[in-house]
């Protein structure tokens, strides 16, 4: 999951962003703010992965605000009705620039650009290529490249590897936070799959090894957008 917040002095603009964010399964909205300084308090206490930030606000310009906040490892996406701010926005290392009224397709592209940025930073931290999980009263090392798929079973997950599986007390949401999001994707409420292991994709199913995995209706849009993003 990627955490995000939205800052805009227009409540209607925030409602649009909230609606769009709710459609994307891997985004976790931590708050929306009409006051940028309230957003700053949250970010100082708990940095977020993506910041959707309006530029023209009454108390402080969004570009100036982006310069003073703690945005290390945060992807900044500017939202504004004024195209003349575009160049200045990119001069402060914004990931993308969305012109209002924002279309959902364009918003989704900005989200995936942000995801790639955050995934890259995460991959630098996860360069070892493995995680540890607790199973049968011991810590078991899992090489990420060996994972075929992960199945959620209520409060447990089963990690499928070549020739074996490992059961551990953990939720899919928790394991997703440990995995590099650029390499693993939620295809269904009960399944996470590594993109590199997918052999075939149809409209409603994925094939990995000898397993057919359903693509959930609520995950379909984001799943296929991610796959398309991989091709571009």
Give 106-165 pLDDT, tens digit per residue: 999 999 999 988 877 766 555 568 888 889 888 899 999 999 999 999 889 999 999 999
For residue 180, the enclosing domain spans 130-231
Structure confidence by residue, pLDDT tens digits, 180-192: 777 888 899 999 9
CATH of the domain at 211: 2.40.50.1020
pTM exceeding 0.75: no
Pair (22, 110) in one structural domain: yes
Pair (88, 153) in one structural domain: no
Residue 45 Cα to chain centre, angstroms: 20
| Dist. CA 160–CA 231, nearest whole Å | 26
Pair (138, 209) in one structural domain: yes
Give the pLDDT score at 109. 94
Give CA torsion, residues 91, 33, 3, 155, to 10 deg.
Answer: 180
CATH of the domain at 62: 3.40.50.2300
Q: Is residue 26 over pLDDT 80?
A: yes
**Selection from 84, 79, 59 nearest residue 6 by Cα:** 79
Give the pLDDT score at 22. 96
Residue that finishes a domain, picked among 125, 140, 167: 125
Q: What is the DSSP string of 72-133?
A: TT-EEEEEES-GGGHHHHHHTT-SEEEESSPPHHHHHHHHHHHHHHHHHHHHHHTTT-EEEE
What SS3 state is found at 205?
strand
Pair (94, 158) in one structural domain: no
* pLDDT category of residue 86 using cuts at 50, 70 and 90: low
Pair (118, 140) in one structural domain: no
Q: Is residue 82 over pLDDT 80?
A: no
Pair (13, 113) in one structural domain: yes
């Amino acid at each position: 999951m990627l955490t995000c917040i939205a800052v805009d002095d227009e409540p209607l603009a925030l409602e649009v962003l909230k609606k769009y964010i709710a459609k994307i399964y891997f985004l976790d909205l931590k708050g929306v703010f009409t006051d940028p300084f309230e957003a700053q308090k949250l970010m100082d206490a708990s940095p977020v992965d993506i910041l959707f930030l309006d530029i023209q606000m009454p108390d402080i310009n969004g570009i100036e605000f982006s310069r003073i906040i703690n945005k290390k490892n945060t992807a900044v996406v500017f939202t504004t009705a004024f195209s003349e701010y575009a160049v200045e926005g990119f001069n402060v290392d914004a990931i993308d620039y969305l012109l209002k009224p924002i279309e959902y397709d364009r918003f989704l592209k900005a989200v995936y650009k942000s995801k790639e940025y955050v995934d890259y930073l995460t991959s630098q931290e996860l360069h070892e290529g493995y995680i540890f999980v607790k199973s049968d009263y011991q810590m078991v090392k899992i090489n990420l490249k060996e994972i075929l798929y992960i199945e959620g079973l209520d409060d447990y997950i089963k990690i499928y590897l070549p020739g074996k599986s490992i059961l551990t007390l953990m939720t899919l949401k928790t394991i997703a936070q440990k995995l590099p999001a650029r390499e693993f994707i939620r295809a269904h409420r009960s399944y996470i799959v590594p993109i590199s292991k997918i052999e075939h994709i149809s409209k409603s199913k994925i094939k990995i090894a000898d397993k057919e995995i359903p693509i959930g209706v609520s995950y379909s849009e984001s799943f296929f957008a991610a796959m398309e993003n991989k091709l571009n």
